[in-house]
Amino acid sequence: MQRTLLQLFYLLSAILFILGLRGLSHPRTARRGMFLAELGMLLAIVGTLFHHEILSYRWIVAGLVLGTVIGAPLALWIPMTAVPQRTALSHSFGALAAALIGISEYARHGAQLGAGRAVVIGIEVMLGSLTFTGSLMAAGKLQGTIRGFPITYRGQNFGNLALLGGMVGLVVAMALMPGAGAAFYVMVGLALVFGVLLVLPIGAADMPVVIALLNSYAGLTDAAMGFMLDNKIQIITGSLDGSSGFILSILMCRAMNRSITNVLFGAFGQVKELPAGEKATKPVRQTTVEEAAEILGTARSVVFVPGYGMAVSQAQHRVRELADALKKKGVSVRYGIHPVAGRMPGHMNVLLAEANVPYDELYDMDQINPQFAETDVVVVVGANDVVNPAAKRERASPIYGMPILEVEKARVVIVSKRSLNPGFAGIDNGLYYNDNTLMLFGDAKDSMIKLANALKE
Amino acid sequence: MIDPALIGDLYVFVLAGFLGYQVISRVSPLLHTPLMSATNAISGISLVGSLVVAGAGYGPLSTALGFIAVIASTINVVGGFLITDRILKMFKASR
């Protein structure tokens, strides 16, 4: 009876989770949706506390309290630029929980397991362990604790494949001899190492894909845990989480014109040697704050194109102040956001929303691209590769084929940039040499303040 | 050889995956970051499995592992929902 009741609780939670995610289809309904999801979680937890097998609450209460004490500050105090790290870290926590419960299950049943159950536990712990270390590595790279550029060596792909083969072999061995503890624990060790090696060769520029991919691994791990414990709510949640991560990985890959295998095995983000002789021969048109302010002040429509460089110099508030000054003069202001402008999917939107930019001024790439032709001025702040026309024209370019924000179609493009150094991928940008491009050299934050002041006068 | 319960679970997994694909496809690209923190929070549902292991007295090893798993999952549930709300609060329409 009690067991049936718990299952009904879980069913209700699953419905509330789905309704909650549905709420995210619009900012207006999002918070209400999350409230439903929170309610679902509360139901599931309270229901589980009455589980018939629970004898003592000592460790449960201690764990809940400790988890809250660690989790709440992590969520409330970190800056918005650190959200990608926090997300990666929480993937690793979720995977850790799953791996530990899997180890406990194996330690408890070991030799009495049937082949099917042994394989389920093996896969669950394998996924959990590799997601745990892989996500820790990703968090470290994003935080800068681990060097951001790709670490590669000869025979890397072969080594990783051999490791994967070894793990699969050991899971098969577990199916044949469920009692062979050595096979299980060696497999756990290999999976932990595999997670590290998987993320090691991936550069910081590819992090949006990696986070999304680890998101889907974390979801699969959760689902595998549900299979192991025969718990449907975990299977449903894991499956939802997994498909969310999968969709986001695909969107991010498409935004960079890369396949997932290419991201995992390609070690992008290394500075590639450029064909010499082509660079630094063309002149650029430099502008001053006064001239730029005058152009902006007489424009009818302005589109800001922010890149991660803007977030690094914390210039988003200054950009918004400049936008406010323009709006006061009756200029229409919009923002064009490339899907990989930040360090994780949707990151740039959050950074701008934090600076009080209204969400209805934020346009994604597909929405804004047709509008550039009717735009008077585009202001590029800290973005580089995502506005590089080489992605459309030069077959030899490493970013060829990547969809970009077609800013050069606007009447005037003002690029705020520290110097002419090439960007993240180390690729020269033809946009800077266009006739309708004006370069405003200097610190982005500084330039935005000066522009806003010049406009207010 | 294969547990019938496992087949039932597989049904649930596959259908939830299809549902997930439909629901997530409709999420606004504006909100992809809160989507990730929200799915993080929800995937803290691994807490329900961890709670039982931490409290059932299966033995010292299981209790210890369950205890750590409860901490890790709780961090995700509490932290995930808090940061999602913190982010969503920042999204305002223009007046």
pLDDT in tens, A44-70: 999 999 888 888 899 999 999 999 999
pLDDT band with cut points at 50, 70 and 90 for residue A281: low
Res A211 pLDDT > 60: yes
The pLDDT tens digits along chain B (95 residues) read 567 788 899 999 999 999 999 999 999 999 999 999 999 999 999 999 999 999 988 999 999 999 999 999 999 999 999 999 999 999 999 87
Which of A21, A108, A222 comes nearest B46 by C-beta? A222
Taking the C-alpha atoms of residue A220 and residue A213, their distance in angstroms, rounded to an integer, is: 11
Residue the block writes with tokens 């001053």:
A288
Does any CB of chain A come closer than 8 Å to the CB of residue B2? yes
Q: Scanning the structure block, which residue is given the tokens 């002789």?
A: A277
Number of domains forming the structure of chain B: 1
**pLDDT score of A29:** 94
- Alpha-carbon distance of B38 to A37, in angstroms, equals 9
- Mean pLDDT calculated for residue range A303-310: 91
Taking residues A347-353, report their average pLDDT.
Answer: 95
* CB proximity list for A18: less than 8 A, separation 6 or greater: A240, B19, B23
A272 or A431: whose pLDDT is higher?
A431
Q: For residue B10, is it within any domain?
A: no
pLDDT at A274 over 50: no
Q: Is B88 an interface residue toward A (CB < 8 Å)?
A: yes
> Within chain B, where are the H helices?
4-25, 32-43, 46-55, 60-90
Domain A289-456 class, CATH top level: alpha beta
Whole-angstrom distance, CA of residue A412 vs CA of residue A262: 36
Shortest Cα distance, chain B CAs vs residue A10, angstroms: 10
Most B CBs within 10 A among A39, A100, A125, A142, hence the mutation to make, goes to A100
Asked if B90 has any chain A CB less than 8 Å from its own CB, the reply is yes
Averaged pLDDT for residues A5-19: 94
State yes or no: pLDDT of A1 exceeds 70: no
User: How do the domains of chain A map onto residue ranges?
Assistant: 1-77, 83-266, 289-456
Average pLDDT, stretch A152-176?
86
Of B20, B30, B80, the CB nearest to A240: B20
Closest among B10, B1, B48, B59 to A97, alpha carbons compared = B48
Active site residue A360: no
Neighbouring CB atoms inside 10 A of A330's CB total 7
In a domain, B63, yes or no: yes
Which of these, A77, A194, A221, A119, lies nearest to B86 by C-alpha position? A77
Torsion of CA A407, A409, A412, A413, to 10 degrees: 20
Nearest to B87 by CA among B22, B40, B46, B19: B40
Q: How far apart are the CA of B17 and the nearest CA of chain A, in angstroms?
A: 5
**Mutation choice for B interface testing from A350, A361, A365, A369 by most B CBs within 10 A:** A350
Helix (H) or strand (E) holding A320: helix A316-328
The whole-number average pLDDT for the span A288-315 is 90
Range of the domain at B33: 29-90
Q: Which of A206, A222, A364, A385 is catalytic?
A: A385
**CB contact at 8 A, A262 and A359:** no
Residues of B in contact with A24 (CB under 8 A): 27-28, 31, 34-35, 38
Q: Are A292 and A381 in contact (CB under 8 A)?
A: no
Using CA atoms, how far apart are residues A215 and A252, in angstroms rounded to an integer? 13
Measured CA to CA, the distance from residue A82 to residue A16 in angstroms comes to 29
pLDDT averaged over every residue in chain A: 88
Residues of chain B with Cβ-Cβ distance to A17 below 8 Å are 42
pLDDT for residue A398: 78
Tell me how long chain A is. 457
CB contact under 8 A, A27 and B28: yes
In a domain, B12, yes or no: no
Interface of B with A in 43-62 (CB under 8 A): 43-59, 61-62
Interface test with B, best of A55, A90, A120, A363 (most B CBs within 10 A): A90
Q: Look at B38 and A37 and tell me if their CB atoms are within 8 Å.
A: yes
Examine residue B16 and state whether it is found in any structural domain, yes or no.
Answer: no
Chain B positions in Cβ-Cβ contact with residue A222 (cut-off 8 Å) = 43, 45-46
Q: Is residue B34 one of the residues assigned to a domain?
A: yes
Tokens of A277: 């002789």
Q: Which residues of A touch B43 (CB under 8 A)?
A: 94, 218-219, 222, 237-238, 241
**B11 interfaces chain A, CB cutoff of 8 Å:** no
